[in-house]
Amino acid sequence: MIQQLKYTWVLICLFGLTTTIDAQVFEPTIPTSRGDSSVIKSDTTANKPKSKVLPRTTSISDFLEYNAALEPDKWFSNAVKRKTKNPKDTLIYPCNEIDTTQIRVNQYRSQGRYGLGFLQQFNLGEPGSPVYSGFEINTLQDIVHPGCNPFGSQITRARDMNFYRAFAPFTEFNYLQGPGKTIALNALHTQNFSPGWNVTLDYRSIINQEQYTGSGQNNQFRNIKLGSLYQSTNNRYKQIIALTWNRSSRNENGGLAVDSLFFVPQSAEKWGTRTLGFYNPTLTTAASKFKQFEHLFNHKYYLNKHWALSQEVAFQRLTYEYKDSKRDTNYYGSNYFDSKTKTADSNVWHIVTHKTGIEYYFPRMRQYRFSSLSLNYVVQSQTYQSKQSQFNDNFTDPSASHSVEFVSKGYGKFIPRINTIHTLAGYGKGSNQTTVGMPIYHKTYHYNSINDPVQNSFDSSNRKYIDDQSVVGPRNSKLTWGVLFYYYNQFQPASLQQQAFYSNHFLYNKELLFTGNKSNQAFFYLTKFKNPEVANLKTPSPATNQTASPPADAQKVKFNTSFTIQNGTWINPTMSIDSVPVTQLNDAQYMSFILGFNWYFTKFSINQFISNKTFKPSQLTNLFNYGVPVWKSTTSLRYRTPAFHHAMDLTLGADIQYTSKFQTTYYRPDAATFVVDANKTESGNYFELDLYAAARVQTVDVFLKAEHINEIFTIPGFNTRYQYIAGYPIQPYRIRFGLNWTFYN
């Protein structure tokens, strides 16, 4: 424990965690006999070394909420020990097993809740994707947040960092190259120095410029994530350190002044080869820089099996700079502060969050793993600074926000999961955020198997993913289905950007109303599993062959589907319309549904996602469906087969995305914001088709991908303008190639 503390404070000092944290760490009082998995024994019976076992992943929330003291002493099933070839390998925190059989031909954007992660809109490193999902209200968990984040599809916050459980030091390298001087790479290294201590370093870099002649736009993006996850040997103390840095540098071109400069008018009534015009940028000397970092320290100590104390400190800084040396962009309208024609602006936000709490765990009951109650006290303070040639002022709320958070976690039928936070004083007083999840029914039917080697064993990480398919753990399931209800209510002030940034720049002194979103949701899921007795698994059963690969003893999915229906209300939605600084609309009621289904055959698979969101027409003023597309669809087709006498796995795939029409959005690089066009100019009604081929040889995946193939043609019935933001077309048809390479050290 003392050695771990030394490493912890060295990390904090080296990487600039500017808030000093004083926390007493208790020494373990109960000796254990669990072995150290970092001491790897050689495998003398298998053809492949033990270190070929892929690491498992865990999120910060999953790690912190799991009370190991209430789980049985038998941490992992015999199947896990067979995989690692080390009976003493007892890493002691829950994770998800992942087999990267599906080659990741793109992984440089963050995928959303329902995103598949491989489709690319706009250029890598640009801020514009996916804005067509609509101007949602504040979706961050913080009562206070800065806003002004156009790079949401690429930036990962510290609390969203993933950690691992690596049975041996593991490194993964991903590389992508293509036209437009596109070079993107991602390097991941993770290592467990003890059964409960993981350190992960994740580096990402993107360099990109548009292919259009004279566009004058270049993008550079950097992201670094460094973290440490620790759990003491006696399971009493947990600790998370997550440090993230994000930077983006762009030469701005301002988009197209007139669409006809690029999109030559063509008839949309018949097939034809697309005719293109010239790209004349609006801005020629403009540039912007976006920098953000967030540092998070969280730790928890279990007083006994039922009581725990926790503390979290997070510091976030966000900086945005914009310069144009030749012209005034009219960003400040007729009352801009600068008397010169040059535009120079810089804005900085600081946010500090401190959370302390106490948690109680109920005794284990029947089939339920555990239930718990926790109470947290949350303090958030914020500072805003704007700098211009004739304006330099700080904005600090006279009192920090003081909030109380209550969390109830339960597992089983009619045991709700509740999370509610209410601000009692300071900035955002009266804010509240409540989420309630209620499992109504769940049923699993099992195969009658006499050859199940792990029928009575227990694996605390029983959720697995094989070939990107969700599978179950110890028992062989035949069919599982369930129904859940959700209630969500969020009511908060407009973002700090809207409260301070707009007021300073536009002398906008109107007090903004609180904004929010409330909804009711029902979720249904059904999964059909393959019979393990007849399924064509990669290797024989581990009961008779000790050389089984990691996914060999996991049951595969044959078919799964999920359906979500939701009705809700946007409360005083806040957005910018036609470059007006800020506009608050009346409450807007909506109805939406989301359907997803997947089929997995021996060599072929299909993944389908469809969503619909419709606002009541009677509530609309000058916005079509509140700027949100009615329909969105994503389809992924994949065919995989062995080649060259099983020396290589060949994968052929197609990705198709469709977005129905929606109200055009403009991007203002000088303000780093998106603006809705009140004239109901339409975007969308466009689909993108990507084709790729990928080959896996040993631990190297090589892929070739043709993106946006349909750009070449004008297709009847679809939009002739391929853009989701006015003035910023999607990149035309291009071919990219790259590789993914894993190293088992």
Residue range 572-596, pLDDT digits in tens:
888 778 766 677 888 889 999 999 9
Strands, DSSP E only, in 234-306?
A: 237-252, 272-273, 286-302
Res. 387 pLDDT band, cuts 50 70 90 = low
pLDDT of residue 727: 82
Q: What's the predicted TM-score (pTM) here?
A: 0.83
pLDDT of residue 8: 47
Q: Give the integer Cα–Cα distance in Å for 502 and 509.
A: 9
Q: Give the integer Cα–Cα distance in Å for 377 and 354.
A: 8
Determine the residue type at 204: R
Mean local confidence (pLDDT), 465-488: 71
pLDDT of residue 628: 85
Mean local confidence (pLDDT), 274-289: 82
Mean local confidence (pLDDT), 513-540: 77
Mean local confidence (pLDDT), 625-652: 88
Q: Over the stretch 651-686, which tens digit does the pLDDT of each residue have?
A: 999 989 898 988 888 887 877 777 887 777 788 899
Q: Are 233 and 11 in contact (CB under 8 A)?
A: no
What SS3 class is residue 149?
coil
Find, among 297, 199, 225, 239, the residue nearest to 64 by Cα: 239
Read off the tokens for 481.
């289905």
Stated length of the chain = 745
- Phi first, then psi: give them for residue 27, nearest 5 degrees: -75, 145
Secondary structure (H, E, C), 405-458: EEEEECCCCCCCEEEEEEEEECCCCCCEEEEEEEEEEEEEEECCCCCCCCCCCC
pLDDT of residue 313: 97
pLDDT of residue 336: 43
452: pLDDT strictly greater than 50: no
85: pLDDT strictly greater than 80: no
Q: Give the integer Cα–Cα distance in Å for 130 and 484.
A: 28
Determine the residue type at 385: Q
Q: Give the integer Cα–Cα distance in Å for 52 and 603.
A: 24
Q: Give the integer Cα–Cα distance in Å for 567 and 139.
A: 17
Find, among 145, 146, 144, 127, the residue nearest to 348 by Cα: 146
pLDDT of residue 44: 33
Cα 673–chain centre separation: 21
Q: Over the stretch 426-444, which tens digit does the pLDDT of each residue have?
A: 988 999 999 999 999 888 8
Lowest mean pLDDT among 243-252, 264-273, 443-452, 596-605: 443-452
Mean local confidence (pLDDT), 230-246: 91
41: pLDDT strictly greater than 90: no
Q: Give the integer Cα–Cα distance in Å for 243 and 18.
A: 11
Lowest mean pLDDT among 257-261, 313-317, 524-528, 729-733: 257-261
Res. 722 pLDDT band, cuts 50 70 90 = confident
- Give the DSSP letter string of 596-650: EEEEE-SSEEEEEEEEEEEE-GGG-SSSGGGG--SEEEEEEEEEEEEETTTTEEE
Res. 358 pLDDT band, cuts 50 70 90 = very high
Higher pLDDT, 414 or 509: 414
Q: Are 215 and 22 in contact (CB under 8 A)?
A: no
Q: Which of 187-196, 372-381, 674-683 has the highest mean predicted lDDT (pLDDT)?
A: 372-381
Mean local confidence (pLDDT), 3-31: 35
What SS3 class is residue 715?
coil
Mean local confidence (pLDDT), 539-544: 32
64: pLDDT strictly greater than 50: yes
Mean local confidence (pLDDT), 142-149: 72
pLDDT of residue 610: 92
pLDDT of residue 312: 96
Mean local confidence (pLDDT), 167-175: 89
Q: Which of 75-84, 518-527, 534-543, 578-587 has the highest mean predicted lDDT (pLDDT)?
A: 518-527
Lowest mean pLDDT among 31-45, 155-169, 587-601, 706-720: 31-45
Q: What is the mean pLDDT of the chain?
A: 76
Res. 119 pLDDT band, cuts 50 70 90 = low
pLDDT of residue 109: 63
Q: Give the integer Cα–Cα distance in Å for 122 and 419.
A: 36
Res. 114 pLDDT band, cuts 50 70 90 = very low
Higher pLDDT, 691 or 157: 691
Read off the tokens for 679.
């004239």
Q: Over the stretch 99-111, which tens digit does the pLDDT of each residue have?
A: 556 667 776 666 5
170: pLDDT strictly greater than 60: yes
- Give the DSSP letter string of 516-585: EEEEEEEEEEEEEEPPTTTS--SS--TTT-TT--GGGGSPPEEEEEEEEEEEEEEES-EE-BTT-S-EEP
Read off the tokens for 311.
């503390």
Cα 283–chain centre separation: 32
Q: What Cα–Cα distance (Å) separates residue 681 from each residue in 690, 725, 726?
A: 27, 11, 9
Res. 89 pLDDT band, cuts 50 70 90 = low
Higher pLDDT, 119 or 575: 575
Read off the tokens for 241.
């350190």
Q: Which of 196-200, 388-392, 628-632, 682-686 has the highest mean predicted lDDT (pLDDT)?
A: 196-200
Res. 458 pLDDT band, cuts 50 70 90 = very low
Higher pLDDT, 43 or 189: 189
Find, among 168, 245, 233, 238, the residue nearest to 204 by Cα: 245
Strands, DSSP E only, in 473-529?
A: 477-492, 515-529
Give me Rg for the CA atoms of the chain.
27
393: pLDDT strictly greater than 70: no
- Those residues with Cβ within 8 angstroms of residue 151's Cβ, 6 or more apart along the chain or in another chain: 127, 221, 246, 248, 290
Q: Give the integer Cα–Cα distance in Å for 346 and 60.
A: 33
Higher pLDDT, 463 or 529: 529
Mean local confidence (pLDDT), 393-418: 82
Find, among 733, 731, 725, 714, the residue nearest to 265 by Cα: 714
Lowest mean pLDDT among 4-13, 73-82, 452-461: 452-461
Lowest mean pLDDT among 289-293, 325-329, 626-630: 325-329
